[in-house]
Amino acid sequence: MKIIREGKTKTVFEAEDGNILLQFKDDVTGTGDVADPGGNSVIGKVEGKGNASLRLSQYFFEVLEKAGVPTHYIKADVDKNILLVRHAETFGDGLEFICRLKAAGSFIRRYGKYVEENQPLDYLVEITLKDDQRGDPLINEESLCQIGLMTPEEVKQSVELTKKVTKLVQAECERAGLELIDIKFEFGKVDGKIVVIDEISGDNMRVRKSGESLNQKEFCNIICD
């Protein structure tokens, strides 16, 4: 087993059979010194946070599996904080599809003159490049296609999947008395088919209970137990 990448919240390994193992860490991302799933810096550690991320990802990937949504998920090892997944070809170095239900985070920082905090948004999808050095810049469909990262049909499929999966996650949150604010997904290709990859946890979504943001462990305790 060899390390492919050391990320902010996960270490990525390649198994001998070609599958991928994602090992979740206790590192917390943030903006400044405030914990934020959209942040590009590690601001500290919280014991048990990696296990909570793993359990949430397992839970939501199994929800998607039951709904017939294609993913790279195979199984989880909760004791080792490891998610076993199929190898997927990413688009470039990776793209993030963000679905927003309310204005928050970087959306407010970009458009604060024109939008209010918590303003309702109708499953608004934004696309960013995974590029920490450039602050994960936004990219539009025309640029994606003209520089050859995706075809128009691939963009269309990915946006549709983003909205579909957001609604599935939102339904699970609402069932537990929680409010989904925004969420981001990554997509890749397995056997030529676009699938949901990476993770689905508090590291890539904002969730609130009675107006208050939840940390990863609080979120996991409500959803997974």
Give ∠ CA 95-98-102 in degrees, rounded to 5. 165
How would you write the pLDDT of the chain (225 residues) with one tens digit per residue?
Answer: 789 988 888 999 999 999 999 999 998 877 767 666 666 677 778 899 999 999 999 999 999 999 999 999 999 999 999 999 999 999 999 999 999 999 999 999 999 999 999 999 999 999 999 998 999 999 999 999 999 999 999 999 999 999 999 999 999 999 999 999 999 999 999 999 999 999 999 999 999 999 999 999 999 999 998
Q: One-letter amino acid identity for 19? A: N
User: Which residues are CB-neighbours of 118 under 8 A, at least 6 positions away?
Assistant: 102, 103, 104
> Which pLDDT value is given to residue 42?
78
Cα radius of gyration (the chain):
17
> Which pLDDT value is given to residue 27?
85
> Which pLDDT value is given to residue 1?
78
Cα 144–chain centre separation: 20
Least Cα distance to 197 among 86, 123, 100 occurs for: 86
> Which pLDDT value is given to residue 29?
76
Residue-range domains of the chain with CATH: 2-85 (3.30.200.20), 89-224 (3.30.470.20)
Least Cα distance to 197 among 101, 61, 4 occurs for: 61
Show the tokens assigned to 160.
Answer: 């549709």
Phi/psi for 77 (5° steps) reads -115, 95
> Which pLDDT value is given to residue 36?
66
> Which pLDDT value is given to residue 39?
66
